[in-house]
Each structure stands twice: as C-alpha cells, then as structure tokens.
C-alpha cells in the first residue's frame, strides 16, 4: 500500500546538475512546501546546502517518497539503490522526454499537487539479479532495472557462449554479446539490438543477441521466473558483464553468470493520466507522417 501522506521526500539529483541549477532550486522549493526534504547528489556539485544532505541508504531509511531529477539514467541508479527499502519513486525530466522520467518542469507544480492529494497512478517494475560465479568460488552479485549484458572485453571481437534456461540449453552462439532485458529495458539497448518492446505489465524477460554470427539467431522472450545461465565456450576468451551500463565485471572461461528475477520490485509513481503508449508514440515517433 502506497502512503498518500508523504511527510519526508528524498530528492536524487543527476550528475552535471550544475547546468540545471535554476530548475533544481525551483524543484526544491516546490517539494519543501509539501514535506521535509532530503537531498542526494550523484556527483560532488552541491547546488544548495539549505536542505539536509544524505546518502542513498539514509534516504531509503528515512524518506516516504523518492523523487529523481534528471533522466532515465538517474531513475535507474535510484531504483537499484532504493528497491530494498520499498519506497516509491517519481521521476522529473530535465532533458528530453524519458520512458521513466515522464514529468517535465512545465507540468511540475500541477503533478506535485496531484501527488500530495493522492491522485496518481502506481506501477510496479521488476529488476534482474546477476550472480557471477568465479572459478575461485567467489560470487559477485549486482542488480539491474534495464538489462544485464554480456559483451567482449576486447573492443572488436566476437565471443562464443552457451545460454541455458532452467538448466536446459537454449543455444550455443557466436555474437558480439547478449542482452538479458526486463520489460523496462526493452526500450533501451535491447530495442537498438532488434529486441521486442515488452509492455511493463508483462512478466517476461528477453534474450537479445548482439550482432549474431548466425542470421537465424533471433531474440527470444521467456517467462520472468526462468533462471538464465551464460557460460563462455572458448578457453582463451574474456568477456564483460554490465548491469544497466553502470557496474561491470570481467568473466573468463569456467565462470558462470546466473540471471534471475530479483525478489523485490520498485514502485514508480506517474501522473494520473499516464499513458505508456503515448510515450512510445512520442519517443519513437510512431505517429509522424512521412
């Protein structure tokens, strides 16, 4: 159940925020009229010291609502850090229209008033958890809201790997890599790689090969409760795993990458009139006349 009485708000501000100083000051003033305000900057450029500065962990422990200011990348980082605390996340966009950060500065006051009246839509998004099992028995864990991606550690080199679903072999392939995408990530790198757009309400993941050597190798959509395993097939090959394009880890032959649905979900708040298909039309220019 989402609280409608948000008494403490955590504001997460994007990197390079100094170039949007006036907008951020406006957002701070608007939010502070409704509730106590905590701030976390994603870099060291502190615009205002008027409000309490906290870590993302402190924000998760103290805030009733988190507000992301920037773009979709800011929301991705906020979601990874706050998902375990169960607080909802709301995105304000400072650039182009985002798939996740869908409120612009022009609409800010209206939508903030609506939120504090309890007039908003609620959406759950699931994340992926990746466990990299090293040969030396060390295991590395990271999570991602968009995607977990395997690619070559070298800049231009195909890699050969095997993909399993619930211990059943899907295929062995040569490609530049593989994208394991959530519905949220289906409009990100997966889309550029020819993957399907998956509605956020479906409980699925997509496996999208990156420039596969075999042209019949197509993206495949699986139930989100399937556990995916990826193994390199060549003894001299080195790969790299990335999580939302942020955290990265090196894997070698003999290592195993296990990908599964993360047990907790992030709650996104949207304006009451939120329309996913309208965002698709605007971002992908579906309705433009040739």
Smallest CA-to-CA distance from 88 within 79, 80, 97 is with 79
CA–CA gap between residue 245 and residue 179 (Å, rounded): 11
pLDDT tens, position by position, 171-180: 999 999 999 9
Q: What is the pLDDT of residue 1?
A: 45
What's the pLDDT at 276? Answer: 94
Average pLDDT in the 132-152 region? Answer: 92
**In this predicted structure, what is the pLDDT of residue 287?**
75
* Strand pairing class (256-271; 120-133): antiparallel
pLDDT at 117 over 80: yes
Q: What percent of the chain clears pLDDT 70, i.e. is strictly above it?
A: 97
Q: Has 72 been annotated as catalytic?
A: yes
> What was the pLDDT predicted at 2?
57
For residues 95 and 24, what is the distance between their CA atoms, to the nearest angstrom? Answer: 13
Question: What pLDDT is attached to residue 290?
Answer: 65
How far, in Å, CA of 232 to CA of 64, rounded?
43
**Catalytic site residue from 43, 64, 72, 244:** 72
Indicate if the pLDDT at residue 125 is higher than 50. yes
Longest dimension (CA), the chain: 60
Average pLDDT over residues 255-273: 96
Place of tokens 């994007």: 14
Query: Which domains are seen in the chain, by residue range?
Result: 8-119+272-284 (3.40.50.10330), 127-262 (2.60.200.30)
Task: Encode pLDDT of 14-45 as tens digits.
Answer: 877 777 888 999 999 999 999 999 999 988 77
User: 21 versus 290: which is more confidently predicted?
Assistant: 21
Alpha helices in the chain (DSSP H): 21-32, 56-62, 72-82, 108-116, 189-192, 276-284
């Amino acid at each position: 159940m989402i609280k409608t009485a948000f008494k403490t708000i955590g504001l997460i501000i994007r990197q390079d925020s100094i170039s949007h100083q006036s907008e951020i000051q406006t957002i701070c003033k608007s939010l502070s009229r409704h509730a106590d305000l905590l701030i976390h900057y994603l870099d060291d450029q502190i615009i205002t010291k008027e409000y309490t500065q906290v870590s993302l962990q402190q924000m998760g422990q103290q805030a009733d609502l988190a507000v992301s200011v920037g773009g979709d990348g800011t929301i991705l980082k906020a979601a990874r850090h706050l998902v375990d605390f169960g607080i909802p996340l709301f995105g304000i966009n400072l650039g182009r229209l985002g798939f996740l950060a869908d409120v612009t500065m022009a609409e800010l006051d209206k939508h903030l008033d609506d939120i504090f009246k309890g007039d908003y839509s609620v959406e759950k998004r699931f994340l992926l958890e990746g466990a990299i099992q090293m040969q030396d028995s060390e295991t590395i864990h990271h999570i991602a809201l968009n995607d977990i991606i395997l690619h070559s550690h070298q800049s231009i080199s195909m890699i050969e790997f095997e993909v399993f679903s619930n211990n059943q072999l899907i295929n062995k392939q040569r490609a530049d890599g593989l994208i394991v995408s959530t519905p949220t990530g289906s409009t990100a790198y997966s889309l550029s790689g020819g993957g399907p757009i998956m509605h956020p309400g479906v409980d699925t993941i997509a496996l999208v090969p990156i420039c596969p050597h075999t042209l019949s190798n197509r993206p495949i959509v699986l139930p989100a409760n399937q556990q995916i395993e990826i193994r390199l097939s060549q003894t001299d090959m080195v790969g790299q795993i990335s999580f939302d394009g942020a955290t990265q880890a090196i894997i070698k032959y003999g290592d195993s990458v296990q990908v599964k649905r993360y047990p907790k979900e992030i709650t996104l708040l949207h304006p009451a009139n939120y329309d996913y298909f309208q965002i698709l039309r605007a971002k992908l220019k579906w309705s433009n006349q040739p």
